[in-house]
Copies of this chain bind each other. A is one copy, B any other.
Amino acid sequence: MKYVFGADIGGTTVKLGLFDDQINLIDKWEIPTDKTDKGKNIVGDVCDSILAKMQEKGIDKADCIGVGVGAPGAVDEDGVMTGGAVNLGWDVFNLRTAMEEKLGGIKVIAGNDANVAAYGEMMKGGGQGHKNVVAVTLGTGVGGGVIIGGKLITGSTGAAGEIGHIRVADGEEEKCNCGHTGCLEQYASATGIARLARRRLAKDDKASSLRSAENLDAKAVFDAVKAGDEVAIEIAKEFGSYLGKGLASVADVVNPEIFVIGGGVSKAGEILLSFVAPEFVKYVFPPCKGAQFALATLGNDAGIYGCAGMLLSDI
């Protein structure tokens, strides 16, 4: 049997997976992400963990097809973290060759974490059966991954799919993390939904269960939506309008078959899609309006699946 590893490097933990060459998950585990010293131990820790797993399972190097790795930053086709990875403390370097060296020549492929998760969802998750997929991650921020003809688009500097920074509103006064204003991320991320909620509640005194919510977060908003709270429904409609408008722009450019919505916010379930799809149709160029909407299904495992799949698609 031949084996593939996936390693999804996040700001808190590194998720690792061992797969067979049909991308069936054999084992998964996590190690902490050591961000001390500008994250200089992370690559070694990940490689040590993979080599230890190979020993534990009695896997020869000859039977290891390779390792796919995802990291939170722009990664170009050669595996260079072109803008470093601010969350990990990394400067610009070639993640692929650094890992290949530590792994004694095992083949490595590197990609952006959101792109890799998108690829996982296409292969084994909510986008299964489709070749033109845009995956949207609604988490602390809004990330995305664009897959065309079954291949991930990385772009010229590895920053393709950064759909959270599409401008969807004029006149916004708060700044996005990227330095601009009116970015999709400011309204459709978990923090963005909380912002919409705070603003709506401050606008007037209309009764709402959200006024007594312990945490005025995306979960509280969608829980209140499900309970029929009118103010929460208004907030969800505003969220859906921004996200629908942003995804319409994406569809005008790449005309996908399906949008797969994941990330923490998507735990709200199908009801979330019901606020987005009708708004999307309002804004999208009519020949692109057939795009479907589905929820991501792999959760936190999307990254390791995508890493393994990306590696296999490259051999």
Interface members, chain A 49-66 (any B CB < 8 Å): none
* Contact stretch, chosen from A19-27, A260-268, A281-289: A281-289
Interface members, chain A 246-268 (any B CB < 8 Å): 248-250, 252-257
Chain B nearest Cβ from A157, distance in angstroms: 6
Residue A191 CB within 8 A of the other chain: no
- CA A148 to CA B87, docked complex, whole Å: 29
Knowing A160-B253, A160-B255, A253-B254, the reply to whether A288 touches B155 (Cβ < 8 A) is yes
Beta-carbon contact of B285 and A165 below 8 Å? yes
Residues of chain B contacted by A286 (CB below 8 angstroms)? 178-179
Q: In the complex, which of the residues B82, B149, B169, B250 contacts A287, with contact meaning CB atoms closer than 8 Å?
A: B82
Q: Write the A118-158 contact mask toward B (1 if CB under 8 angstroms, else 0).
A: 00000000000000100000000000101011010111111
> Which of A83, A144, A153, A282 has the largest count of B CB atoms less than 10 A from its CB?
A153
Q: In the complex, which of the residues B151, B178, B249, B254 contacts A160, with contact meaning CB atoms closer than 8 Å?
A: B254
Chain B nearest Cβ from A293, distance in angstroms: 14
- CA A166 to CA B165, docked complex, whole Å: 14
- CA A180 to CA B251, docked complex, whole Å: 15
Count of chain A residues near B, Cβ 8 A: 47
Beta-carbon contact of B167 and A283 below 8 Å? yes
Residue A161 CB within 8 A of the other chain: yes
A171's nearest neighbour on chain B, judged by CB, is: B170
Beta-carbon contact of A156 and B290 below 8 Å? yes
Q: Write the A154-196 contact mask toward B (1 if CB under 8 angstroms, else 0).
A: 1111111111011101100000001110000000000000000
Q: In the complex, which of the residues B166, B179, B254, B290 contacts A153, with contact meaning CB atoms closer than 8 Å?
A: B254
Beta-carbon contact of B285 and A159 below 8 Å? yes
Residues of chain B contacted by A82 (CB below 8 angstroms)? 287
Knowing A167-B249, A180-B283, A285-B162, the reply to whether A155 touches B254 (Cβ < 8 A) is yes
Q: In the complex, which of the residues B156, B166, B252 contacts A291, with contact meaning CB atoms closer than 8 Å?
A: B156
Residue A74 CB within 8 A of the other chain: yes
Residues of chain B contacted by A132 (CB below 8 angstroms)? 155-156
Interface members, chain A 272-299 (any B CB < 8 Å): 282-288, 290-291
13 intermolecular pairs with C-beta atoms under 8 Å apart: A148-B148, A154-B255, A156-B291, A159-B285, A159-B287, A160-B254, A162-B255, A165-B284, A167-B249, A170-B170, A178-B286, A179-B286, A254-B254
**Chain A residues at the B interface, C-beta cutoff of 8 Å:** 74, 82-83, 132, 144, 146, 148-149, 151, 153-163, 165-167, 169-170, 178-180, 245, 248-250, 252-257, 282-288, 290-291
In the A-B complex, list the 3 residue pairs whose CB atoms are closest, starting with the nearest: A155-B255, A165-B285, A159-B287
